[in-house]
Structure formats: C-alpha cells, structure tokens
Amino acid sequence: MFVLLALIKSLKNQKVVIHSMQSNIAAILICLFKNKKIVIRNSEDPLYSTIYSENKFFAIIVFILKFLTYNFADKIVTNSLGSKKNLNFFVFDKKKIITIYNPYLKKVNKKVFKKHNIVLNIGRLRKQKNQEILIKAFSIFVKRYSDYKLFILGHGNLKNKLQELIIKLDLEDKVFLEGWKNNTTSYIKKAKIFVLSSLYEGLGNVLIDSINFNTPCISTDCNSGPKEILLNGKGGYLVKNNSENDLAKKMIFSIQNYNLSKRKNTFAKKKLDRFFIEKNCKIYIKTLFE
C-alpha cells in the first residue's frame, strides 16, 4: 500500500490508473480483456509463501493461477532479488522481471536514542512471522539476560496460541503482546535489538526502520529480503530459519558483543539510500511509461 501511495504522490497530475492487488490475477485478466499494458508488482516470495501457507490448498490454486497469468504481464516488478529469483521458475521471459526496492524512506535519521533492555518484534501474529520460535528463543536468552523484556507488536489469529506459550514458559512478566500500534517508531527507538523471525518475506520494511533508528537487527535467513537489507550479514545478523537455538545464541551474542552489533548497524545504515522514496518512485514511473 505504501508503494501505491508513494506512486500516486509522485505521478501528481499524470493520467495513470494504478491497480493494487496481492495476487494480481484479476487485474491481469481485466487488462487482457481491455487490451491494456500490464505492469504488476509482486510483493512477497511466490514460492515460499506457498510452501508456508496456512491454507495449502488455496495457496497452490493461487500459485497455479499466477503461473498461468503472470506470463501475460508486460513487466513484473518485484521488491527483492530473492523474489525475482523464484519468479524465474515460472515466468518464461526473464527479461520482463525487474527488481525495484520499496520506496520507503524519505531520509536517513541522524539522531541518537537512548536504548533500553528491550528485544522488539513487529509483525502480524500469523504463521509467516513465526513469533512462536522467537518466544522460545527468548526463553533461552532471558536465562542469561534476566533484565530484558520482549515486546511483540501486531495482531492476528495466533494471539491466543502465543499467549498460551508465554504462560507455559512462565514468561508473563517478560514477553508482551502489545497488539498493533500506529506508531511503532517509538518502540524501535527504545529497543536494544530488533528480531525478525519470519519463515519468508518479500523484503522486510521493519528491518529498514530498525536500522534507520540505530537498532541492531537479527533476522532469520529467509530466501529473499532480509539478507539483502542486512547485506548478507555485514549489516546485521542472519540465523538459520526456524531454529530457536540458533536464534537464541545469536541474540545472546549480539548483546555480549554490542559494539560489534552497532558497527554492523552503522554499515547497513550507510546503504539505506537504496530504499529512498524519491529514487525508487522515479524508477517505478520509468518502468510504467517506457
């Protein structure tokens, strides 16, 4: 949605109709019927979103429909190189796939904020975001660092299940499901580290925000997204996907070696211009009209 809003603002008075749908299937069929140019945006990893779907039958149907319809698109914009790689499996003409990073940041933050003993996660409480593995990892981490708390911002259908896990692990006074917050920035500014535990991502904008507000990042090494933002581990820590022990070890290491963690974050911050709104909107506009 933020991409759509950024483009609308950039296009101003130009006569362009922008259609935004997660799967793009209906939009492609309508454009084929109307004989219009088709430029679509794929915002998540098409392969792993199917593998880790909560509804496998529906996900497989959508994947097949994507296979049948995406090849009719004139251009396909994807927001990470990893997603582009997976699109290559079912798009015949590879040249039509273009990677454009999300037009997300206006500028790089220059301020320094006081950090508290907080581990932060932001994301929907759904299978994709895999907060269950984070809570389990935190239960190991907190045995070493008992003065830390974990805040999880987001809502979703797994809230009750996660709350039950928190109670089971005796973490009621350590782990807090805060619900969705319109202002997540205030949490990011205070957090000591940010942890993304997802099974898959398209890109991972929360990592961009965390880097921008000087909060070192740990992320599961998804097939696409986080490793690009964290520069293959030079700008943050990458851990094995879906492993509570690996995640816990890296969380402990990041605090034990916090100066190193901050240096990694500083390195990543120097590369944040990749996600500037003005820069990437210009590329979008060129892609739409060329």
pLDDT, one tens digit per residue, over 186-224 is 999 999 999 999 999 999 999 999 999 999 999 999 988
Angle at 94 between CA 89 and CA 100, to 5 degrees: 100
Q: What CATH number should be reported for the domain holding residue 221?
A: 3.40.50.2000
Angle at 107 between CA 102 and CA 113, to 5 degrees: 110
Question: 257 with 283, same domain?
Answer: no
Question: 16 with 41, same domain?
Answer: yes
Total number of domains constituting the chain: 2
Question: 170 with 264, same domain?
Answer: yes
Question: 182 with 216, same domain?
Answer: yes
For all residues of the chain together, what is the average pLDDT?
A: 90
Question: 41 with 139, same domain?
Answer: no
Question: 168 with 30, same domain?
Answer: no
Could you give the angle at which helices 277-289 and 2-11 cross, rounded to 10 degrees? Answer: 70
pLDDT at 47: 87
- The most distant pair of C-alpha atoms in the chain lies apart, rounded to whole Å, by 62
> Within 13 Å, how many C-alpha atoms sit on residue 147's CB side?
4
* C-alpha dihedral sign at 212, 214, 215, 220: positive
* Mean pLDDT computed over 247-262: 98
55 Cα distance to chain centroid: 21
pLDDT at residue 6 greater than cutoff 60? no
Question: What percentage of the chain carries pLDDT values higher than 90?
Answer: 72
Angle at 211 between CA 42 and CA 132, to 5 degrees: 70
Tell me whether residue 110 is in a domain: no
**Residue 285: which domain range?**
2-105+274-289
Tell me the two tokens of residue 21. Answer: 């749908």
Question: 100 with 173, same domain?
Answer: no
Question: 140 with 256, same domain?
Answer: yes
Question: 124 with 58, same domain?
Answer: no
Record the pTM: 0.89
